[in-house]
Amino acid sequence: MARLFHYKIVNDAFGDPCVFVRLLRERRALLFDVGDIRKIPFNEILKVTDIFVTHTHIDHFIGFDQVIRAILRRPEPLRVYGPENIIECVQGKLKGYTWNLVSDYPLTIEVYAIKKNSVKCVKFSASKRFKMENLKSIKIKNN
């Protein structure tokens, strides 16, 4: 049976957490935490479509800037899933730069903040200078 994915733990036990998962048949990749990602080749970062962040300590989130820089010209959205503060953290990163030329780029970032009983969804589009747009929120029923 052919492999469906290939994974790589990016750094050693003393480095920043990051797991890179390449979905072979889909020609895309996932990141689980975004610590120091300098060891991931640029052409592999271009394949990242989804990022899962366990929490936003610097060692789990510092590589986000490098991902944005790599995929800014890509029309496919980047989806980011994380704890309830992830929206504010992504927004803070995007506000940390001067984006005077950004509206010419196609990148869209969808962010999903996972809470106990809901998932809040927002979008940041380069074409709208990364102004936050609210998307639907999903209620989760407890049984």
Active-site residues, by number, are: 59
Q: Are 99 and 127 in contact (CB under 8 A)?
A: no
Buried b (16+ CB within 10 A) or exposed e, 86-95: bbebbbebbe
Q: How many CA atoms lie within 13 A of 21 on its CB side?
A: 14
Residue that the structure tokens 């052409």 belong to? 43
Q: Are 85 and 55 in contact (CB under 8 A)?
A: no
Strands 108-114 and 118-125: antiparallel
